[in-house]
Structure formats: structure tokens, C-alpha cells
């Protein structure tokens, strides 16, 4: 039997057209630019110690918001994670304005290096920048954190290396590369152990990717989990439920 005996021009055109539409649609979804992103700069930072009721070690973890806010939002992140950037640019500004600035939520930054080979070193940079700025000028950390996410470029994570993070640090006022390097050299084991504790807690919480969140009402000892860059409404609904717990 001739395998092409009943291939018609009409079907060939339909298949070709559908393939082009399919590929073009995917390319459109991939390349559409982010909608207008807002800026958010927290008014309060905390440098805390101890362990929360949920089991999060707070020492050396950046905390944004009021110390006595009733709900903790634990945020596992990775500087190489595009989805985390999406959350930071699209959703975090609204959450910050509506929940952190109102004193209802405090945001705790935790590491979950999982995307690329430089994920772990970038988490070390993060911890040292926080250590260098937490007591003196914690907004420096926020500026550095924003610069680091701005440095992400599409098409993989090859952009992330020593040079890129040194450059991010140089661009940030209030912090120097030699100071951060010294911290990374002298505290490498301790920082690695802290990061491993964060990753382990993520695993125990059922968080398997970044960005990952646990919302925890400290008084009620009630928690909820969100994984991924959900739309703002999903976060708001979840936070409202945990606040009312």
C-alpha cells in the first residue's frame, strides 16, 4: 500500500497551519512582557533570633514587617528562579502595601537553592549581605535583593556567576564586595548549614519548588501553604483565612 495514497493537500495545509499557530501561540506566551510592575520598599525590617512555633530559625534570616505581626509568611526563594522574580514584581508590592505595612504580616526570607549551579552560592551572597546590613542599614539588603532579581535574564541561568553577583554588590550603595567576600569565606560552613535547615524545613512543609510559602498564625498555631507565583487574589484569600484562624 502506498503510505501517502490518501494524504490530501487540504489536510496537509490544516496540519501545517495548526502547527504554526501552536508554535506561534507558545512563543507569544513565552515572550510577552510583564505587565506594569510596582515598586515596594518596606518601612520596617527585623533582625531576630530564636525559633518560631512553626520551626523556622530566624537568626540571620531577613525579616520584613512589624516584629509582633500576628502572621508569619515564610518565603522560600532562589535568585535564579524566574517565578520568584514574577512574584516579587507582580504580587509582593501589593502584599507589602496591604498586609506587611498594615502590621498584619511579617515576611521571612528563606533560601531554597534549586534552580541552577549558582543557586547555592547566590544564597551565600544573600546571607552575607544581610549580615553586613541588618544592624546598620537593613534597606541596603532590600536594594541588593532587588538588584539581584533585576539581573535575571531570559533564556536560562547562565547569567549567574561570581562576576554577576560581585557587580550587583558593587551597584548597591552601603555594601562592598570585599566585606561580603570576607563574610562568605569565614562563615561558609555555618551559612551552608543554615541554608540546609531552610531546605529541610521546606521539604517537611511539603514545599517542593520556588517560590514556596507557608503562612503561619503564631497565636493560633495554624498554617497554610502556597506554592508558586499565584495571582495576588489567591495570596490575599489565604492570608485572610490564616489571619482569622
Residues that bind other proteins (CB under 8 A): 1, 3-8, 11-12, 14-15, 18-19, 22-23, 26-27, 29-32, 82-83, 86, 112-117, 119-120, 152, 154-157, 199, 203, 206-209, 226-231, 234
In the complex, what is the shortest distance from the CB of residue 215 to other proteins, in angstroms, rounded to a whole number? 13
Closer residue to other proteins (CB): 94 or 218: 94
Decide: 128 and 191 in contact? Cβ < 8 Å: yes
Reference 73, options 233, 231, 211; nearest CA is 211
Which strand (E) or helix (H) includes residue 122? Answer: helix 119-133
Task: Report in angstroms how near the CB of residue 8 gets to other proteins at its nearest.
Answer: 7
- 120: cell is 547555592
Q: How far apart are CB 226 and other proteins at their closest, in Å?
A: 7
CB of 78 to other proteins, least distance (A): 9
Q: What ranges make up the beta strands (E) of 38-104?
A: 45-46, 63-64, 71-77
In angstroms, rounded to a whole number, what is the distance separating the alpha carbons of residues 60 and 45? 12
Instruction: Provide the strand spans (E) within the chain.
Output: 45-46, 63-64, 71-77, 105-111, 212-217, 222-227
Give me the phi and psi of 224, to 5 degrees please: -135, 160
Q: Which is nearer to other proteins, 56 or 195 (CB)?
A: 195
CB-nearer residue toward other proteins: 134 or 227: 227
Distance CA 244, CA 165 (A): 41
Rounded least distance, CB 42 to other proteins, Å: 26
Phi then psi for residue 149, to 5 deg, are -70, -35
Whichever of 35 and 136 has its CB closer to other proteins, that residue is 35
Residue closer to other proteins by CB (options 37, 47) is 37
Amino acid at each position: 500500500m502506498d503510505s501517502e495514497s490518501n494524504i490530501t493537500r487540504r489536510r496537509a495545509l490544516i496540519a501545517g497551519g495548526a502547527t504554526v499557530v501552536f508554535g506561534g501561540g507558545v512563543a507569544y506566551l513565552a515572550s510577552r512582557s510583564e505587565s506594569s510592575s510596582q515598586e515596594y520598599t518596606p518601612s520596617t525590617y527585623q533582625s531576630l533570633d530564636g525559633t518560631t512555633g512553626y520551626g523556622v530559625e530566624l537568626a540571620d534570616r531577613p525579616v520584613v514587617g512589624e516584629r509582633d505581626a500576628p502572621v508569619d509568611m515564610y518565603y522560600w526563594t532562589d535568585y535564579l528562579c524566574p517565578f520568584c522574580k514574577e512574584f516579587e514584581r507582580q504580587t509582593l508590592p501589593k502584599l507589602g502595601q496591604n498586609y506587611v505595612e498594615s502590621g498584619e504580616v511579617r515576611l521571612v526570607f528563606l533560601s531554597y537553592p534549586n534552580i541552577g549551579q549558582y543557586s547555592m552560592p547566590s544564597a551565600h551572597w544573600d546571607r552575607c549581605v544581610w549580615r553586613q546590613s541588618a544592624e546598620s542599614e537593613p534597606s541596603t539588603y532590600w536594594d541588593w535583593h532587588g538588584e539581584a532579581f533585576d539581573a535575571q535574564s531570559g533564556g536560562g541561568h547562565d547569567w549567574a556567576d561570581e562576576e554577576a553577583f560581585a557587580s550587583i554588590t558593587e551597584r548597591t550603595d552601603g555594601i562592598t564586595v570585599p566585606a561580603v567576600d570576607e563574610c562568605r569565606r569565614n562563615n561558609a560552613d555555618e551559612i551552608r548549614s543554615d541554608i540546609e535547615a531552610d531546605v529541610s524545613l521546606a521539604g517537611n512543609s511539603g514545599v517542593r519548588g520556588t517560590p514556596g510559602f507557608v503562612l503561619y498564625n503564631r497565636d493560633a498555631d495554624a498554617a497554610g501553604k502556597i506554592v508558586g507565583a499565584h495571582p495576588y487574589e489567591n495570596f490575599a484569600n489565604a492570608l485572610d483565612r490564616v489571619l482569622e484562624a
